[in-house]
Amino acid sequence: MAFSNEELERYSRHLILKEIGYKGQKKLAEAKVLIIGAGGLGAPAAMYLAAAGVGTIGIVDADVVDLSNLQRQIIHTTKDIGRSKVESAAESISAINPSINVRTYNTRIYSENILKIIEDYDFILDGTDNFPTKFLINDACVMVNKPFSHAGILRFNGQVMTVIPHESPCYRCVFENPPKKGEVPSCSEAGVIGAMAGVIGSIQALEAIKYITGTGELLTGKMLTFDALTMNFRTVPIKNRRSDCQICSDHPTIHKLIDYEQPVCEIPSGEVLRENKGNE
């Protein structure tokens, strides 16, 4: 493919990077990235992927825009309240980069539909805020070998990791099963600082760009955590896939996707990782 003069100007700051250049920009233009969740994490990720020139961006979300979303979900505006999140997100993406092909899925992710939705994409971003969907995304991506970025935010904490199925540790290698009911507060109960979504969601977009272009080192085999109160980034090594992992080991025990109950927000990264020291 050949870029137009307008596209050459649009992506000029990428084109002068030796790590990206024309070849890398062409890879971005031909790539397909799916973002599950058009909320706090998905909002900045979608905007930066569109700006970067990712050719096809899919957005999955069944919710409508609520006033309380606007504190962190910057892809939506006040005029979008009551509107479908995927419709609002698609409009914002197209406003940033009209050449992007946007696919919308106004639905929740379940075991019955996730494999069909993710099958046509090169990279998946988990921008969800609940454990059932996070485990479902992990298991589905591992089953069909789709690389993906996991992230979670709560209060002033964020975490992000990238999974290349059967090569790097997966989400279940770190968090074996969803927490029990009542163990974890929801975002509405515990709160979340809005800018945290921008920090972590942008890192997810960067991981997708690096994967597509083959540039740099991915967050595979490690979890990046961020404490906004202390401005401390920490990389926690997750050296190996668990030999007894239920989904990505050589002898998995999960052969069918599971729809867990009781969605809750991601717990703070520091608390999670202290409970999983055995896998560092």
Q: Please say whether the structural domain 12-279 has been given the CATH code 3.40.50.720.
A: yes
Mean pLDDT of the chain: 92
85 is in an annotated binding site: yes
Give catalytic status of residue 141 as yes or no.
Answer: no
User: 56-60 and 101-105 as β-strands: parallel, antiparallel, unpaired?
Assistant: parallel
Higher pLDDT, residue 121 or 267: 121
For 196-225, the pLDDT digits (tens) are 999 999 999 999 999 999 999 999 999 999
Eight-state DSSP code of residue 188: H
Q: Percentage of the chain surpassing pLDDT 90?
A: 85
pLDDT at 274 over 60: no
Q: What is the C-alpha to C-alpha distance for residues 199 and 193, in angstroms, rounded to an integer?
A: 11
Known binding residue 185? Answer is no
From CA 173, how far away is CA 243, in angstroms rounded? 9
Q: Say what the pLDDT of residue 180 is.
A: 77
What strand order describes the sheet that includes 232-237?
Answer: 101-105, 56-60, 32-36, 123-126, 148-154, 157-163, 222-227, 232-237
Does the pLDDT value for residue 61 go beyond 90? yes
Q: Tell me, what's the pLDDT at 26?
A: 98
189 pLDDT band, cuts 50/70/90, is confident
Q: Annotation-wise, does 265 bind a ligand?
A: no
Cα–Cα distances (Å) from 78 to 67, 191, 208, 275, 279, in that order, read 7, 21, 29, 40, 44
* Distance (Å, whole) CA 124 – CA 138: 10
Residue of 54, 60, 124, 187 marked catalytic: 187
Please report the pLDDT score of residue 184 as a whole number.
72
Is 183 or 274 the better-scoring residue by pLDDT?
A: 183
Question: Any known ligand binding at 61?
Answer: yes
Q: What is the pLDDT of residue 190?
A: 83
So where are the chain's domains? 12-279
Higher-pLDDT residue of 117 and 239 is 117
Question: Is it the case that residue 265 has pLDDT exceeding 60?
Answer: no
Question: Does the annotation place 245 within a ligand binding site?
Answer: yes
pLDDT digit string (tens) for 161-181? 999 999 999 999 999 898 877
pLDDT band at 262 (very low <50, low <70, confident <90, very high): low
Please tell me the distance from the alpha carbon of residue 35 to that of residue 104, in angstroms, as a whole number: 10
Task: State how far the Cα of 149 lies from the Cα of 123, in Å rounded to an integer.
Answer: 8
Helices and strands per DSSP (H, E), number in the chain: 11, 8
Q: Compute the residue count for the chain.
A: 280
pLDDT in tens, 8-27: 999 999 999 999 999 999 99
Is 156 marked as a binding-site residue?
no
131-142 pLDDT tens trace: 999 999 999 999
How big is the chain by its Cα radius of gyration, in Å?
A: 18
101 labelled ligand-binding: no
pLDDT tens-digit series, residues 62-112:
999 999 999 999 999 999 999 999 999 999 999 999 999 999 999 999 999
Q: What is the pLDDT of residue 275?
A: 34
The reply to whether 263 sits in an annotated binding site is no
